[in-house]
Structure 1
Amino acid sequence: MSLTIYGVLRSRASRPVWLAKELGLDYRHVPVIQGYRLPDPGAPDAPLNTTSTAFRAINPNGLVPSVDDDGLILHESMAITLHLARKHGGPLAPRDGSEDALATMWSFWAVTTVETPALSTRGGADAIAQAMPVLDRAFAVLADALQAGGGWLVGGRFTVADLNVAEVVRYAAGVPTLFETHRAVRDWLAVCHARPAFQAMWAERDAEPA
């Protein structure tokens, strides 16, 4: 059995790496950097990046992350984490069809509802002002779900759904008023980030070039 995860941790590759650490999986990490972060991604001495021919042979979209799981090539971070959780089981995995549906729903919700406005908060005061109403509504929905679920999104325990949503919600960390308004979200995110697997992933992320 072999698993290779492609992508630097200063990308959405943080999601499958965090999950792999939660599951205790043996994996190889290939730090493919985003081409836009390099002055000349096509230079002969450029590191492996999303424009490199070698990586485009794995993912022709030129995006990270990708994984090779025993010959199964997968792209899209949420698809990867859901696949790995289902495959390896344990408490992070859905226990039945209903939990699987809920984990998928929350993962898609994070990407379609939260990710774009959360990322836009890094663009300055005007961008934050535009994003705030959208994020405020989304955080209210998330807070209600967490309170109804005993502090978690699915099955009353930490699952791949929490991991996927937490990895999107943290993009809004630069707007602390959101988290003060929605303290259930703030407290849940802090518990997610206190997990040893997240801490290990984050330490590796911090060691990467900025």
Structure 2
Amino acid sequence: MLTIHGVTRSRASRIIWLCHELGLPFRQEPVIQAYKLPFPDAPDAPVNTRSPSFLALSPAGAIPVIEDDGLVLSESLACTLHLAKKHGGDLAPRDAAEEALMLQWSFYAATAIEPDALTIMMLHAGREQTSEDATLIADAAERLVRPMKVLEDHLATHGHLVGDRFTVADLNVAEIVRYAEGYGELMGQFPAVLAWLAGCHERPAFRKMWDARATKEH
């Protein structure tokens, strides 16, 4: 059985969502990020990204990691792309061109959107902002206008990113765009992106992952 190492409140959520889409059973080992623990090296600390047992599996000390029929694989987007292709169906590429486009959109979101979207999520939601925070958020939002416009233009004329159907590319990119979803000053400029993201989040598999994430401590 597939094993996912990582808590649900991490990029492991991408893999969990995909497993629900595929109907793929999995076992989850809730490895927590070391920075969330006051004493991650304590003998009684829960398994975390600095635990020797986890570092033996992942020398980079980062979650998520999957074990799949002897394959140990890290990097969440690599994991979702691998599992989608392996198990097939509508979420997977149907030919080499679709596979290339799924890689393109996934990598584009990871490099052009995710860093600044994470800044917005961490500084904008659930905390009192300082003037420095507000400046960092505004700068991140300004940098995101160009890559978000690329998504907007594509989604305004296509229902999805690849093949006119929901695929692993939509899942990967939606999980990244989600980080900036709560910042209306940015997202309000991109109605097609918001409509597409809402559609992704209405999927039963996403709701199943999100409900589980909401009930877990980490």
Give 1:180 shift. 1.5
C-alpha separation in 1, matches of 2:29 and 2:204 = 22
Q: Which residue of 2 aligns with 1:3?
A: 2
* Pairing partner for 2:144 from 117, 135, 145: 135
Q: Which residue of 2 aligns with 1:74?
A: 73
C-alpha separation in 1, matches of 2:176 and 2:109 = 6
Give 1:9 shift. 1.2
* Aligned partner of residue 181 in structure 1, secondary structure: coil
1:127 aligned partner, one-letter code = L
Q: Which residue of 1 aligns with 2:38?
A: 39
TM-score (norm 1): 0.97
Q: Quote the sequence identity (%).
A: 56
C-alpha separation in 1, matches of 2:157 and 2:83 = 27
C-alpha separation in 1, matches of 2:29 and 2:206 = 19
Q: Which residue of 2 aligns with 1:144?
A: 153
2:100 aligned partner, one-letter code = A
Q: Which residue of 2 aligns with 1:86?
A: 85
Structure 2 gaps, min length 5: 124-132
C-alpha separation in 1, matches of 2:45 and 2:212 = 21
C-alpha separation in 2, matches of 1:130 and 1:178 = 11
1:192 aligned partner, one-letter code = C
* Pairing partner for 1:186 from 170, 188, 194: 194
1:145 aligned partner, one-letter code = H
Cα RMSD for the two superposed structures = 0.9
Q: Which residue of 2 aligns with 1:19?
A: 18
Give 1:148 shift. 2.8
Give 1:120 shift. 1.0
Q: Is the counterpart of residue 166 in structure 1 residue 174 in structure 2?
A: yes
4+ long deviations beyond 2 Å: none
C-alpha separation in 1, matches of 2:142 and 2:9 = 27
Q: Which residue of 1 aligns with 2:95?
A: 96
Q: Is the counterpart of residue 106 in structure 1 residue 114 in structure 2?
A: no
* Aligned partner of residue 67 in structure 2, secondary structure: strand
Give 1:177 shift. 2.1
C-alpha separation in 2, matches of 1:137 and 1:170 = 17
C-alpha separation in 2, matches of 1:177 and 1:194 = 23
Give 1:70 shift. 0.7
Q: Is the counterpart of residue 118 in structure 1 residue 155 in structure 2?
A: no
Give 1:133 shift. 1.7
Aligned residues: 208
1:52 aligned partner, one-letter code = S
Deviations 1:161-201 (CA, angstroms, capped at 9, x unpaired): 00000000001023112222100000110010111111000
* Aligned partner of residue 164 in structure 2, secondary structure: coil
C-alpha separation in 2, matches of 1:177 and 1:126 = 14
2:49 aligned partner, one-letter code = T
